[in-house]
Each structure stands twice: as C-alpha cells, then as structure tokens.
C-alpha cells in the first residue's frame, strides 16, 4: 500500500508557481511529476481530496469549477491510488458543472454509483440533484 499524501502538499502543487515557489516547497513539482508518470506511488484519500477542495475554494478563493477540474485531473495520475475513484470523478464533475455543496455532490454520486434508493435528508438541494429524499420517521 502506498503512503498517503496530505492536503497541504496537494494545495501547494495546485497554487504555487514553479518559477516563484519558495525553496521549502520546491520539491512538490518533481514529486507530482513522478506521481503522474507512475514512478512514485501515494494514496489520495477522499477526505484529503475534499479538504483540498475546501481549502482551494475558501482560503485561496479558486473558483469552484476550476478547483474541481484541477483535482479531477489528479485522479488520472498513474502513481496516485484513489479509493472510490469513479465516484469521486462523478462528484468533482458535479462540483465543476453546478453550484452545489460538496457533501451533496458526493451523496448524489454515491447514490448514482451504487444504485441506492436515496438519502435520509431534509435537504431539498439533494432533490435538485435527482436524489430521492427518504422519509425520516
């Protein structure tokens, strides 16, 4: 099993400029080049992916569609092991295309990907994503 990569490494890779990056973060670019080619392995967990999206869109104010697209690109890196990769692709696609909450996008992708009936929720925004709201009773 590959060792996990943390949010701060992903965010540095996505927000820094290789020409102006400070020396302490310079290694992030060769690291991801190796991951892209499959010369190095790392584990990208869904929680880290989601936290990266949150940091990019909130702290760095990267537009939501751009943040989702950049993170989706990482999923194709040969050296990144990503649990639930297909489900996360669908979730990131939804985030790139629609102004929805991260968790709502994930739950909609989960329901579609696993042929689930719906979600126990009161959140009408899930229904707008085609998710059936199951009665909480």
81 and 109 fall within a common domain: no
Confidence (pTM): 0.91
CB 129 within 8 A of CB 105: yes
The pLDDT score that the predictor gives to residue 114 is: 93
11 and 40 fall within a common domain: yes
**Residue 104: domain span:** 100-137
Structure tokens at 12: 């540095």
Please tell me the number of Cα atoms within 13 Å of 27 on its side-chain side: 3
Q: Measure the N-to-C terminal CA separation of the chain; round to a whole number of Å.
A: 42
10 and 66 fall within a common domain: yes
CB 36 within 8 A of CB 79: yes
List pLDDT tens digits, range 13-46: 999 999 899 999 999 999 999 999 999 999 999 9
Closest by CA position to 40, among listed 67, 71, 86, 9: 9
1 falls in which pLDDT band (50, 70, 90)?
A: confident
109 and 72 fall within a common domain: no
């Amino acid at each position: 099993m590959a060792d996990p990569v943390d949010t701060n490494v992903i965010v540095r890779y996505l927000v820094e400029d290789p020409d102006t990056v400070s020396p302490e973060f310079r290694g992030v670019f060769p690291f991801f080049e190796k991951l892209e080619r499959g010369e190095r392995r790392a584990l990208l967990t869904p929680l880290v992916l989601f936290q990266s999206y949150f940091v990019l869109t909130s702290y760095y104010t990267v537009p939501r569609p751009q943040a989702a697209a950049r993170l989706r690109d990482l999923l194709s890196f040969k050296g990144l092991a990503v649990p639930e990769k297909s489900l996360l692709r669908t979730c990131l696609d939804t985030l790139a295309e629609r102004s929805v909450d991260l968790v709502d996008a994930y739950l909609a992708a989960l329901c579609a990907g696993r042929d689930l009936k719906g979600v126990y929720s009161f959140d009408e925004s899930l229904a707008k994503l085609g998710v059936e709201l199951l009665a909480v009773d």
